[in-house]
C-alpha cells in the first residue's frame, strides 16, 4: 500500500483536490506492483511552509511512502509525473514543489504487519 501526502500552502478547491487524487491514482501505476486500488492519498492545504527561513506563499511538499522498493529510474519517472500533475492542477512550478520518497521493508495494514 503506497501512501502519498500532499501538503501545500495553497487553498485548493474540492475540484482541484479531486483532480490531484485521480491523477496521482493513475501515476502510481508507474511503480511496478502499485495501483490506485491500494493507494492512500492525504491532501492537506492552507499550510504555512518555510524554506531558507522564508515563508513560501506558493509551495507544496509531497511525501511518498512505498512498501518495498522501486528502481531509481521508475522513481524518477514517477517524480516527474507528480511535478506535472501539480503544475496542471494547482499551477505550482517545479521549483515550488519538493518531493521525498521513502521505501519501507515492513508495513502495517489490515491489522497485521507485513
Q: Which domains does the chain have, with CATH numbers?
A: 3-113 (3.30.429.10)
Give the span between the Cα atoms of 54 and 114, in whole angstroms.
41
Give the span between the Cα atoms of 4 and 64, in whole angstroms.
5
Q: What is the pTM of this model?
A: 0.96
Helices vs strands, H then E, count in the chain: 2, 8
Sign of CA dihedral 102, 24, 81, 34: positive
* Residues found in the chain: 114
Give the span between the Cα atoms of 26 and 29, in whole angstroms.
6
| pLDDT tens, position by position, 7-45 | 999 999 999 999 999 999 999 999 999 999 999 999 999
Q: For the chain, report the end-to-end CA distance as a whole number of angstroms.
A: 10
| pLDDT tens, position by position, 53-84 | 999 999 999 999 999 999 999 999 999 999 99
List C-alpha distances in Å: 66 to 38, 70, 96.
11, 8, 23
Amino acid at each position: 500500500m503506497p501512501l502519498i501526502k500532499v501538503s501545500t500552502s495553497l487553498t485548493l478547491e474540492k475540484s482541484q483536490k479531486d483532480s490531484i487524487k485521480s491523477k496521482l491514482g493513475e501515476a502510481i501505476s508507474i511503480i511496478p506492483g502499485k495501483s490506485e486500488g491500494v493507494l492512500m492519498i492525504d491532501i492537506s492545504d492552507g499550510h504555512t511552509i518555510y524554506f531558507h527561513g522564508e515563508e513560501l506563499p506558493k509551495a507544496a511538499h509531497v511525501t511518498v511512502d512505498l512498501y518495498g522498493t522501486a528502481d531509481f529510474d521508475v522513481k524518477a519517472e514517477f517524480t516527474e509525473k507528480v511535478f506535472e500533475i501539480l503544475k496542471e492542477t494547482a499551477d505550482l512550478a517545479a521549483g515550488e514543489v519538493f518531493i521525498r520518497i521513502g521505501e519501507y521493508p515492513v508495513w502495517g495494514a489490515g491489522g497485521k504487519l507485513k
